[in-house]
Amino acid sequence: MCCFSGKIQSVNDTRIFARMGEQGNQFIAYSMALSTVQDVAMLLPIPVAKGRGDGAVKFISLEKYKNFFDDLASGYPAPRGTFNQPTTAAAPTHAQTIKVESVGAYDASFVPSIGDFSRLDARFVLPTDVWQQLPGYKDFGFAVFKLKAGHAEVHPMAFSFASAKPTSLFFPTVHIHDGMVHDRATFDHTLYCQPSSEHDSIRWEESPQLASQFMKVPASQGLIRPTQHVYRKQMSGRLKNQDVLLALA
């Protein structure tokens, strides 16, 4: 889900990478081009394993690898002739303010549940009625990135989390850009992944080379598995407004 705490002017060229790590921890890297006249937060609901509390998410700085997604795209040579209402959330058991971390160019926080948004700066919280339209997210946690006003592409956001769905890769692609939930939305997304092993059942476009041949593996901070290929799916146009869940089994 790509949802914002305030109204934005535009968002496009969304790129998401996902990989399942050890012991059910999923990695996500996220990039976009955003235009906004006010400071906003982007909230990414994620299926976090229960009982992990505030420490379920580890943020990863890609400040020194701003071209992470450009390098991913380089692994796919262009074909010749083309150009490149939910149950009310329980009140938090403690009232400590949500921790804010500096992650490169961003301030980031992990919100363990919908009820825990009361512990976050009110400027970066969605109206309650939004969640009432999304009952499927009542058990999710939320990675929150605070973004400055302006029009810019900055380095990708990245993190890992203890997944409640360890046999699938989760891509947060539901749109909430105006405080409302629409059945269909305009997509301009490229999704990338590395499954835990090479899967014939994944019908995404496979990179011709291993990741180590086109990615700066040390700079990826553990996101990239060097000895595997990368898979890609492109989504564009008016599509059903939902997240993407890719089964690995």
Q: Is 104:62 a contact under the CB 8 Å cutoff?
A: yes
pLDDT classification of 203: cutoffs 50, 70, 90: confident
d(CA 28, CA 99): 20
Positive or negative CA dihedral for 70, 73, 74, 78? Answer: negative
Residue 137: give the domain boundaries: 2-85+93-247
Pairing verdict, β 2-4 and 40-46: antiparallel
Q: Strand, coil or helix: what is 176?
A: strand
Q: Strand, coil or helix: what is 139?
A: coil
Task: Tell me the pTM.
Answer: 0.82
Structural domain total, the chain? 1
pLDDT of residue 247 exceeding 80: yes
d(CA 103, CA 123): 19
Name the range with the highest mean pLDDT among 118-132, 145-159, 195-209. Answer: 195-209
Burial class (CB in 10 A: 0-12, 13-18, 19+), 14: buried
Please name the residues in contact with 18: beta carbons below 8 A apart, sequence gap of 6 or more.
26, 27, 28, 169, 170, 171, 191, 192, 193, 246
What pLDDT score does 122 carry?
Answer: 72
Residue 140 belongs to domain with CATH number = 2.60.250
Per-residue pLDDT tens digits for 156-179? 999 999 999 999 999 998 877 666
d(CA 9, CA 35): 5
**In the Cβ-directed half-sphere of 228, how many Cα atoms lie within 13 Å?**
15
Between these two residues, 137 and 109, which has the higher pLDDT value?
Answer: 109
Per-residue pLDDT tens digits for 90-106? 443 445 778 888 887 78
d(CA 198, CA 166): 16
